[in-house]
Structure 1
């Protein structure tokens, strides 16, 4: 950035209380060091202590950056607004707010703030680039809205796609799927090894895979009922394109089969730079045996998230725009949850597995979720809350730290589960230090399966083994090595990372 930060002394240097100023300065430097060490939760706590002593534009803007790093865009937005209130001429306040709005897909609001930055700091190259990116996104949204109107409803790409005519070159060294029946077991293992060695499934077989998978998903309910067998089931959380950690799960827990089924609870893609390999592997097992691989949709199985966090860019780099469009359409066919059915002492027991969380009101029943139109972007209503919400320790409801969905308390969890005769809610959506967390009087579990998230968070990954009685057993694991391609290698340039002060 080109601007200078000279507002701190003006706002916090009170000559009558030098001790407070000294303490705030210490806290600010400690918080900045925590951001540098990627300890963002600690940084937020330190900035909060400083703000309680002497609030100012810089402290709020710095905390907004830390919260952006934790994907808490709702909180980052509020901090940026506070920064602007304290100093309407502080460019980084507008910049932080623009980045938060951009991450939430609110491109028009982001554009206005990037324009404000350029008024305060003319010719800043970073702000100019992000302004242009916002303008491009706004044009894309307008075009998409135009072609999605009732008058001009486009055909599904799946209805017009003919993979039969695509020629597979003799030079292709990967596994081949020429027959019309389901994928064989040997194909699954050959493909995994081919992908492990950074091979790329031929586009003919990838398109065929997407066609077969979508045909299957379109038959399913929004909330799929699954009877857990004697052998049990493994539930995994976010994998976020960490393909080599996905393979490690299979190494530790066994490959998917009819006697070793898996449920992956959304956010297969984005951030990690091997998202194509993750989703191709999961879909391959679906097409081998759909009862050995169950998938739920996450908030990152959506166009806006894919555009920002890398999956769209990765698919276009490894294949082309048409194949990305097929993925985007396929994601809209994914079910929103699974209701696991087991028996404990002869009594029916139910566990609901969904990606995000619960709702902004009581009284929501499974029947209401079954009636939702899931073939769309999850940007409003019950579907957005199901994919975006997070639990909180306090009772009742709170503002979403993400800017979408809500925060819901243990009492909200209890009332929803009791109303639907469900014993336990399992969700993902949040990184946890040990890979999982149990809360809400042991009736809510968060599971997260991307260890050392984005190669920087230092967390463990976890998965849950459920027995036929639906008793959970937790397993944790650390990150394994992967090829030297960093996370976010294909991500949008619209998320800035401005320096701290």
Structure 2
């Protein structure tokens, strides 16, 4: 087959949303004809779909280098720049697109929206002061929020979450009903206070005969979250859980997911744990729908309160001093210790480098050493890096999430790096299984349970996302 024929087959896989196979075939075509800008451009959009923004950026730049008139290259590079929060650079590329395609309404709209973001960010920097920013929590007046007599939903008991409340709320959400805003605000405020008391790295103790469950990304797939509880039992003092980040975005029931999770955190604070993921950030929430969903279902003020809660989420948990659990992965140097994680300032938006960035964004790779991240943020780390980290910190293995896996989990690096992903058929397109891990305190041996997606109401993923990012 010629490069053109391989490209056409790759395009068919792309149309069927089989992005991994499409990338493989575009790569094969590039090896046959490395001077074809369109091949790099096509692989770039496939990488965008996989959220490999670093690779997408590199391919788009290569396409432009090969053909300065290849307008799709500028467009796709702009998309990658936006995903990496580099809006000024995105504006420059979109200006080129608009210049050569003055009648392209979509490009004009994206250019205008991107310019607005650049201006807003510049304004925020200009008015920034050294004083501590006033918390939005201080401006919320619960007493002024009245509850009408016709509200038939779950109610807090003396302002507190109970087991009965949680059962009623989950059923209420399942029926597509909305929790009263007064109760939602109260839960978020209480969760904010609770997480503020946590350390950046939380030590978790499991008794020898106790089961402990670790779940990966949920991504707003509320009905699949309910299925986890159906399969594995509701959280309780005798059935503790850790949810390892990315509770929101993509899926369009993120509000229901996060309220359910913080509800269990409030009910069982010493037996229910939540780690921050890379999607518990304002940039990702703006792109992938959580901000829009909260505004649609409640208020912009509530989203700002959620953002404060996300800043306070722990970055990692260490189980019985032997298993480290964090969302992304390991670090750009071999010297990072658990104490370094403990002393990391987490109460902020994720930075572009350093311990907090790596722990939220990094991914394992099969080859030794380190490599630039396919995502454009964090690093890729090999089995030698994992082995060195485990030996330095005297732990047995790490658990991370962050990546879709066909079976919902993957054991890599001789079993010392385990990935768990709990959103089956991610975005209604990926066809993957979901999984969770259970272990006993006596041996901490991971046991995997896999499951398929369950039906959900006819609301598509990304239903609340900013139209600027509809390419995702």
Post-superposition Cα deviations, 1:383-440, rounded to whole Å, max 9, x if no partner, equal 0111000001110000100000000011001101110111010000000000000011
* Pairs within 5 Å for 1:197-208: 197-208=175-186
Q: 2:271 and 2:165 mapped to 1: Cα distance? A: 15
1:164 alignment partner, SS class: helix
TM-score (norm 1): 0.92
Post-superposition Cα deviations, 1:305-350, rounded to whole Å, max 9, x if no partner, equal 0000000000000001000000001100100011000xxxxxxx61
Map of 1:268 onto structure 2: 247
* Pairs within 5 Å for 1:320-399: 320-341=299-320, 350-380=322-352, 381-399=354-372
Answer whether contact 2:409 2:418 (CA < 8 A) is retained: yes
2:263 alignment partner, SS class: helix
Q: CA deviation at 1:280?
A: 0.4
Equivalent of residue 9 in structure 2, options 30, 33, 36: 30
Q: 1:174 and 1:422 mapped to 2: Cα distance? A: 46
Is it true that 1:475 corresponds to 2:449 in the alignment? yes
Answer whether contact 1:147 1:154 (CA < 8 A) is retained: no
Map of 2:429 onto structure 1: 456
1:109 alignment partner, SS class: helix
User: Which sits farther off after the overlay, 158-167 or 467-476?
Assistant: 158-167
Equivalent of residue 58 in structure 1, options 26, 32, 38: 38
Answer whether contact 2:288 2:469 (CA < 8 A) is retained: no
Is it true that 1:169 corresponds to 2:142 in the alignment? no
Q: CA deviation at 1:139?
A: 2.2
Q: 1:216 and 1:32 mapped to 2: Cα distance? A: 49
Answer whether contact 1:228 1:340 (CA < 8 A) is retained: yes
Is it true that 1:105 corresponds to 2:85 in the alignment? yes
Equivalent of residue 198 in structure 2, options 197, 215, 220: 220
Q: 1:136 and 1:88 mapped to 2: Cα distance? A: 27
Q: 2:415 and 2:342 mapped to 1: Cα distance? A: 26
Map of 1:420 onto structure 2: 393
1:206 alignment partner, SS class: helix
Answer whether contact 1:310 1:491 (CA < 8 A) is retained: yes
Is it true that 1:311 corresponds to 2:284 in the alignment? no
Q: 1:123 and 1:172 mapped to 2: Cα distance? A: 50
- Label 1:164 to 1:425 Cα distance change in 2 as closer, same or farther (>3 A): same
Q: 2:470 and 2:63 mapped to 1: Cα distance? A: 17
Q: 2:235 and 2:200 mapped to 1: Cα distance? A: 23
Is it true that 1:485 corresponds to 2:448 in the alignment? no
Q: CA deviation at 1:78?
A: 0.2
Q: CA deviation at 1:138?
A: 1.2
Map of 2:219 onto structure 1: 240
Answer whether contact 1:102 1:494 (CA < 8 A) is retained: no
Q: 1:28 and 1:202 mapped to 2: Cα distance? A: 52
Q: 2:466 and 2:5 mapped to 1: Cα distance? A: 35
- Label 1:301 to 1:497 Cα distance change in 2 as closer, same or farther (>3 A): closer
- Label 1:214 to 1:496 Cα distance change in 2 as closer, same or farther (>3 A): closer
Alignment RMSD, CA only? 1.2
Map of 1:404 onto structure 2: 377
* Unaligned residue ranges in structure 1 (runs of 5+): 1-21, 342-348
Map of 1:254 onto structure 2: 233
Answer whether contact 2:281 2:350 (CA < 8 A) is retained: yes
Post-superposition Cα deviations, 1:86-118, rounded to whole Å, max 9, x if no partner, equal 101110000110000111111111111000111
Q: CA deviation at 1:144?
A: 2.9
TM-score (norm 2): 0.97
Equivalent of residue 413 in structure 2, options 425, 440, 443: 440
Equivalent of residue 210 in structure 1, options 168, 173, 188: 188
Q: 1:273 and 1:497 mapped to 2: Cα distance? A: 17
Map of 1:192 onto structure 2: 170
Runs of 4+ aligned structure 1 residues displaced above 4 Å come to: none
Is it true that 1:88 corresponds to 2:49 in the alignment? no
2:355 alignment partner, SS class: helix
Q: CA deviation at 1:163?
A: 1.2
User: Which sits farther off after the overlay, 27-36 or 118-127?
Assistant: 118-127
Q: 2:128 and 2:219 mapped to 1: Cα distance? A: 29
Q: 1:149 and 1:94 mapped to 2: Cα distance? A: 36
Q: 2:267 and 2:431 mapped to 1: Cα distance? A: 34
Q: CA deviation at 1:147?
A: 4.2
Q: 1:145 and 1:423 mapped to 2: Cα distance? A: 44
2:142 alignment partner, SS class: coil
The structure whose Rg is larger is: 1
